[in-house]
A and B are shown apart, each in its own frame.
Chain A
Amino acid sequence: MIGFWSVFVRELQHYFVTPIAYVVISTFWLLSGFFFSFNQLFVSAIDMVSAFHNMSLLLMLMIPLLTMRSFAEEKQAGTLELLMTLPISDGAIILAKYLSLMMLVFFMLLGSSVAVMVLIYFGEPDLGPIVGGYTGIFLLASSFSALGLLISSLSANQVVAATATWSLLLVLWFIDYASALFPASDLINLFQHISFSVQYLDIIRGVVTGGGFIYFFGLVLFCLVSATQVLRMKRF
């Protein structure tokens, strides 16, 4: 992957030389901490199910704010032309941007794990579902990020990119509702399988199924390959 590291490092630097990383990460920590504390204090649950539920929603709100700039900002600033004329492959550009996003998501989830320390300190939580839950949330965030990156590669405007990503995530979240429209159809299975809200029910309980893993991994792969093709199309 020619030029991967240079773009990866540049992307991470960009997040940290601007307030983006600090604002997004601290807001995520603050809100997920608040929801976790609220549940512990008022519901007294010694698990992370509610916390994972809230994290999923927070990530759905915040990831489009991170992904919107990936390509739309480069197009607005005229730096995409530079990137595409440097000796860097299109695949490396996409992968570097995506993995730097995932690095940020990793920091977000890492900080939220303070909640697990609290649970361990005050009780004896079952760590299996917690580890599974974090794995699932990370997979969910991976697919949000990949979708956002793909949308950003298609748009020249950051607001449009963010709005389109939110819309697409909402459609994929609620798509299982559409099964009510086709009650006697095979589409029910399809809608339920691709619905984030159905997949996430397993995730927040800490269950990552083979089917779920393949779905998220496939979605990520599809989005990254498509984004690479979008970049390639710009060369014609």
Chain B
Amino acid sequence: MVTNQEPGSDFSFDLVKLGLRLSEDDIADVEAEEVPSHLNTNNSSGGFVVVSTDKLSVKYTSCNLHGHDVGSVQANCPAPSRRLVYYFEIEVVNAGQKGQIAIGFTTENFKMKRQPGWEPNSYGYHGDDGLIYRGSGRGESFGPTFTTGDTVGGGINYATQELFFTKNRELLGTIYKDVKGPLFPTISVHSPNEEDDCLSLQICSLKVHLHDCPFLFALLWYQDTLESFDAASNNTPIPNPMIQENGLNEQGVTFELHNRKILRQLIRSGDIDSTFSRLWEWYPQIVQAGHIEDAFNYARSELAKFFEIPRLEDLLQVFNDNSAIQKFHKIYQNDTIALLAYEEPTKSPVGHLLKMNHREVVADAVNAMVLSTDPNVKDAKSCLQSHLEKLLRQLTACCLERRALNGDQGEAFHFHSVVNSGKEVKPASS
């Protein structure tokens, strides 16, 4: 692999990294998690319940009301955990004679003939007594009873590691979630003629994207979170860029702006010869021998020309004929020459140099290099990233770290999804 990072050089660019900013294939694992979509018909307690063909409704059929004849049904997969909150709801169509309905969460090995909450590693909110059961046959007072016509919901808040339950969309309370593994949304019926209609197991299982946050917190009554979000954002003023326009920072931000603008335009349009002559004129210190690292990168910008030259022989020809390349040391020719050693240059380790967006990369590198000639800049590497990029990196890293410290549960932050989410929000009507 090519390297341009000689020890001791205080100025070097990792073009591979720069190029990554343009690559298309770096967002693989975004929200690939399966979300429960229906009830599991294979794993239900046969004989006691009938799951309807839409796989979203259940009915109790047995007449024996023994404590081991409960009809429990799990969702087809565990609640997704790579998000802030998971939530599902059921509507009780008919509570039956005794109203023994329960909603809760269970682990994979849960016994389907028992109520959720009675067994270890399970939680259940029971309709007939309004009690919450967590791994015990003895319930704890929790909320009201629920019966025919009620909509009842169960959710997991991964941020606080709590379970919560709702009745008719009002939050009843939360309990600590001590089971760390996957939990299945579970419902159970235990009374003739009981029928739960799971409106949809996905209802309100919101995928939280950034702009939904305050909305979701409000929806789910996480007032504290909402308030801390608001407080944080209000107490720390977002700096107004207008104020700084006349401030001291201006120098750093607008350093050589005009020249950098012209260089960027030239590189983007592929006019590399003009780019070089301008650079010689304006910033000879960068191009001069001795600044090998810098020149190295300029040699690479030569390659931007090769976009239009797909054949290897032509590539060689250009290489030999081009007078500009003679201005540079043999050393950095090695890198570009390396391209020629491959049958398919785009697949070579230096193939990133040939990618379509390479001009953009080169333009960024040149831009950063010119910035680094600003005598006020202490850390040349910091020129590579704008403030905006630094803030976004910090944001992403913080979100990931917070999630990691939370046992890898909770919402992951993907800048790419956030930026590109707007279009999907469009109403499907019209």
- Do the two shown chains form a genuine complex with each other? no
Task: Give the B-binding residues of A (Cβ under 8 A).
Answer: none
